[in-house]
Amino acid sequence: MKYTGENKLELFANNAQIIKKEFTWQNALTKRLAALLYAQEGKTIDCEAIRQCHALIKQSTGAFSTFRGNMALSLAAMLSLSANLQDVLRETMKVYDLLKGVKLRASDFLVIAAYIIATQSDASDYRNVVTRTRSFYDGMKARHFFYTGQDDYIFAAMLGLTDLDTVAGTERIEQIHSLLKGEFRDKNSVQALAQVMVLGESDDSISDRVLVLRDTLRVQKIKLDKAYTLPVLGILALLPVEIETIARDIGKAQDTLRAKKGFGSLSVTTQELLLFAASIVASDYTESVKDGVLTATLSTSISNIIIAQQAAMIAGISASTAAAASSSS
């Protein structure tokens, strides 16, 4: 069966209810991400497979390993969708060590970056991709010291996987950042947006399209130009779809999800809801784009970006919770 965006919204909502019951004590955001990953594949979530992968992660790592951190359940879900999950985990751990070897810090973001590299490159190219990842990160850090942090590891890995020259690519990110930095409040997210647009190898005209799309969405009271959703705005702008069509479909997807059980305003924030709605709409578009190279690039980017932004949300919530606990003790 070919799943359309509407089908995937329904499947995602059902998956979210299934995993919510099966993993009671796990972070709600990681459960919803797992539900989305399965829905994007057109699959009903397999909680037993995820549970087995989660156990495998524990068996393969130490008690204090970052592989057991906030993104462990999400990683388990990704592994459960792999044909050779034990091999994928082993290769991910290998790449993780290589990334730490170039002095990138242990974190949930680094685990996901390692997974992306391990699953999207050949073993013979790991060292090259890791070196390029570090170079892209250093280039961004040199220009924006305070904006660039561990949450950029995943974007740096995505850039490292491309054929882009690291110097020219970093300069291009800076050019796009300069064009757009005055238009959005969250400067860190503008850098992520610029990275997405460089991944799409867009010219300067894409900046105008991003702004037109932002304004068209705002008319419908849809704000995709916030911290966690801004990179997805970039993905949507890169797709050869009419802006009015995008705005209409995002609005419909948002309304559809909000009406589903477990997706009310008390359970899911507007930004997270929009992240899900936009990712499903965008993936639906990529399946209809006839440019095979563009489709492959953006399809992969959508999944990686959603994982990156969900990881950032989880990290933000965890930091806020820890700060609150510390101040009350």
On whether residue 157 sits in a domain, the answer given is no
Residues 76 and 86 reside in one and the same domain: no
pTM higher than 0.75, yes or no? yes
Burial class (CB in 10 A: 0-12, 13-18, 19+), 186: middle
**pLDDT of the residue at 17:** 96
Please report the pLDDT score of residue 43 as a whole number: 95
Same domain, 174 and 137: no
Q: Are residues 77 and 91 in the same domain?
A: no
pLDDT recorded at residue 305: 87
Cβ neighbors of 105 (< 8 A, separation 6 or more) are 150
Query: Tokens 């005209």 identify what position?
Result: 205
Residue 149 counted as domain residue: no
pLDDT of residue 169: 94
Looking at residue 325, what is its pLDDT? 46
pLDDT of residue 319: 62
Q: What is the pLDDT of residue 296?
A: 55
267: containing domain: 162-329
Q: Report the pLDDT value the prediction gives residue 203, as an integer from 0 to 100.
A: 79
Q: Tell me: do 67 and 11 sit in the same domain.
A: yes
- Same domain? For 3 and 66 the reply is yes
Q: What is the pLDDT of residue 1?
A: 40
Give the pLDDT confidence score for residue 288 in this predicted structure: 66
CA angle 132, 138, 144 (to 5 degrees): 140
**Low-confidence spans in the chain with pLDDT less than 50:** 1-2, 293, 324-325
C-alpha atoms less than 13 angstroms from C-alpha of 209 in its C-beta half-sphere? 20
Residue 167, in any domain of the structure: yes
